Amino acid sequence: MRQDLVRWADENVLRADRGTGPVLMHGFTDPRLVQSAVRGAELYFVGDDMTWLARAVGEGLPVCAFDADDLPDPLGLLLWSDDPSAHTATLGRPRAVVWSRAATTLRVLALDDAGPYRRALEEEGRQVDPTWAHQVNGLLAGNLAVAFGAVIPFGVETDWDQVQHAWSMDKNGNPVQDRYGLGDSKISTITDDQLRVLRTLLGTLLLIRQPADERRGLWQSEDVQPDPAARKRLRRAGAERLDAKVRYITLRRSARPAPGDDNGSEDTAGRIYRHRWFVKPHRRAYPDKDHPAGKSRRWVGPYLVTPAGCADAPILGTEKVNVLCR
C-alpha cells in the first residue's frame, strides 16, 4: 500500500513540475509534502477489534483536541482493517490516513478504499460525467483513493460541529465546499462521515499512547516484517525498504477466571473487586510553565483499571442495562 502511494506521490510531483494540474488537498497544497510524508512514515495496522474500540472511543470524545504528545511518530501511515466511520450513505469508504506533524499543527490526509470508485467508473450503462471520471482517476493510488485533507491545531479544544476542513481544492489551492454541486444535504452527510474519521483517528491515537503498564494497557503491539510473498511484490514494485516493519496493534483479550478462582478477594481501599473496568478519555489540567495560564490540558485515558488480585478478572462493560420485569 505504501509503495502504491509513493508511486502516486512521485507522479503528482511530476505533474506539479510540468504544470499539468497536480492533486491538491487542504493542508497538502505542496505535492512534495505528501511525497516526504509517505516515504518517511512509520507504518501502523489496526485490527478489527481495535478499530471497533477506537470508533467507540472516538464517538464518546467530548471535544476535538489533538496534542503533539498523542502522536506515536511525527510521520505515520495508518490502515484500519475495518471502516473507521461505519457509514453507508456516501461513495467514499475511509480506510487509512497519512499524518504529518508541522510546527503547531497536525496535517491529516484521509484515504478511501478505491473499490467503490472503480466500480462506479466501470459500471456498464452508467453515465459518468467525464470531468468527474478524469478527476477521480487522478486520485487513485493502487487500492486507495485520496479523499480529503484536514489541518488541526495542537492543544486547542474545539467542538466537533465547529471543526472545519475541506475535501476539495480549486486550481489555486483554495478550499471549495461544494465542488460538484451536490447540494447542502449531501455535503452535510459527507462532512459527518469525515468527522467520524477524525474522531476515530483521535480515538486510535489515544489508545496507542496508553500507559505501557501491562495492568492498564488495552492493547498489545508487535513489529511484523513482510512475508516472502509480500517482499517479492515490493521488489517488483521497486520498493526501497523491502524489510520495513509494520507495527501491528491488537486489542487485549480478557481471560475469564476459572470456576472457584477467588480473583479480586484482596481488599483494595476498603472494597473487594472482582472485575476490571475501562476509564473513558477525559481532559485533565497539568502545570505548564510555558502556557499563558500556567497550566495546559491533556487527554488522560482510555486505560484499564486492574485492582490488586484482578489480573485475570472479567472486564466490566461500559454499558449497563437495567431490566425491570415481573
Do 282 and 139 lie in one domain? The reply is: no
pTM: 0.71
Q: Is residue 98 part of a domain?
A: yes
Kindly state the percentage of the chain with pLDDT values over 70. 76
Q: Is residue 295 part of a domain?
A: yes
Question: Are 220 and 258 found together in one domain?
Answer: no
Residue 97 pairs with which residues in a beta bridge?
78, 110
Q: CA-CA distance, 240 to 77, in Å (whole number)?
A: 16
Q: Is residue 226 very low, low, confident or very high in pLDDT (cuts 50, 70, 90)?
A: confident
| Sequence letter at residue 194 | Q
What percentage of the chain exceeds 90 in pLDDT? Answer: 22
Do 11 and 133 fall into the same domain? yes
Q: CA angle 107-48-186, nearest 5°?
A: 55
- For the residues 310-314, what does the mean pLDDT come to? 78
Q: Are residues 75 and 128 in the same domain?
A: yes
Q: How confident is the model at residue 246 (pLDDT cuts 50, 70, 90)?
A: confident
Please write the tens of the pLDDT for every residue from 35-79. Answer: 999 999 999 998 888 888 888 889 889 999 999 888 989 999 999
47 within a domain of the structure (yes/no): yes
- pLDDT at position 181 is 59
Q: Are residues 196 and 108 in the same domain?
A: yes
State whether 218 and 262 are in the same domain. Answer: no
* Domain co-membership, 18 together with 140: yes
Total domains present in the chain: 2
- Look at residue 252 in the predicted model and tell me its pLDDT: 61
pLDDT for position 77: 94
Q: Are residues 15 and 120 in the same domain?
A: yes
Amino acid identity of residue 225, one-letter, is Q
State the Cα–Cα distance between residues 310 and 263, nearest whole angstrom: 5
Final residue belonging to a domain, choices 202, 224, 246:
224
Would the pLDDT of 97 be above 90?
A: yes
Residue 324 falls within a domain, yes or no?
Answer: no
- How is residue 145 written as a grid cell? 483513493
Question: Is 159 within the bounds of a domain?
Answer: yes
pLDDT at 232 over 50: yes
The more confident residue out of 245 and 170 is 245
* pLDDT value of residue 20: 85
64 in a structural domain? yes
Condensed to tens digits (0 to 9), the pLDDT of residues 150-171 reads 899 998 898 888 886 655 555 4
Say whether both 161 and 284 belong to one domain.
no
* Residue 184 pLDDT > 90: no
Q: Are residues 25 and 157 in the same domain?
A: yes
Contact call for residues 257 and 314 (beta carbons, < 8 A): yes
142: Cβ contacts below 8 Å, ≥ 6 apart:
1, 3, 4, 5, 7, 8, 114
**Is 76 domain-assigned?**
yes
6 or 283, which is more confident: 6
For residues 96 and 76, the answer to whether their CB atoms sit within 8 Å is: no
274: domain range?
Answer: 254-316
- Tell me how far apart the alpha carbons of residues 317 and 303 are, in angstroms, rounded to a whole number: 13
DSSP secondary structure letter of residue 64: B
**Between 192 and 107, residue with greater pLDDT:** 107
**pLDDT given for residue 23 in this prediction:** 85
Answer with the one of 203, 224, 245 that is the final residue of a domain: 224
Residue 17 lies in a domain: yes
Same domain, 10 and 157: yes
Per-residue pLDDT, 254: 47
Q: Check whether 227 has a pLDDT greater than 80.
A: yes
Do 216 and 260 reside in the same domain of the chain?
A: no
Domain finish residue from 224, 246, 265: 224
